[in-house]
Amino acid sequence: MRQIILDTETTGLEPADGHRVIEIGCVEMVDRRLSGNRFLCYRNPERDIEDGALEVHGISNEFLQDKPLFIDVADELLEFIGGAELIIHNAPFDVGFLDNELALLQRQDRLSDHAGVLDTLELARDLHPGQRNSLDALCKRYDVDNSSRSLHGALLDAEILAEVYLAMTGGQSDLGLSFESPTDSDHAAAHMDTIDRPELLVIEADEDELAAHEARIRAIQEKSGHCLWNDL
């Protein structure tokens, strides 16, 4: 299975307010192993970056002045992710921004036309209801080293998310049973009650199997003088 872990950095929080994508970072994973293939691009958003966003990622307007426009990287990005499953933390944010970039190019296609999407934030909320599930919180929970993450960066965050995703889907660190408040426990109980489990298949022994079983019990009884099965 081919999966692409993707992250973006932007000029602000809302594409509806005219904010744009300025960095796209992806790492490729095939059959749950990082392949070493990466995609990284910075792009000129044709507008200024908000101060709040600058504090998060540290990417300046000056740095982006000579970078390509989204129209120059769109096809390359879509070719890289094509046919894969995208692994994104808080997917509506990144997908919303990238879909907006495609719409600004007067294109009819959207990200979901090229790849499936798995939201690790939703996955984390299912595994750890009522707990903090930011990327930093998940790194701490799953013992993933994020000490180099003083500022957000799309490629760095994608690499960290790949480790977190593998840890989350390879086994649960606490089985979702450690809660931060009584309310969280109630949420977890409600979640467990709604798990759809298939009915157990019971296969009855036929007459020949029952006869063989009885013969084996008699043999044990005769040899040892006692068979625990008869005490049941």
Residues marked active site are found at 152
β partners of residue 42: 23
d(CA 197, CA 209): 30
Nearest C-alpha neighbor of 160 from the set 62, 71, 88, 210: 88
d(CA 227, CA 219): 9
Rounded to 5 degrees, what are φ and ψ at 89? -90, 120
The one-letter amino acid at 133: N
d(CA 213, CA 229): 11
The one-letter amino acid at 84: A
As given in the structure block, the two tokens for residue 23 are 């960095």
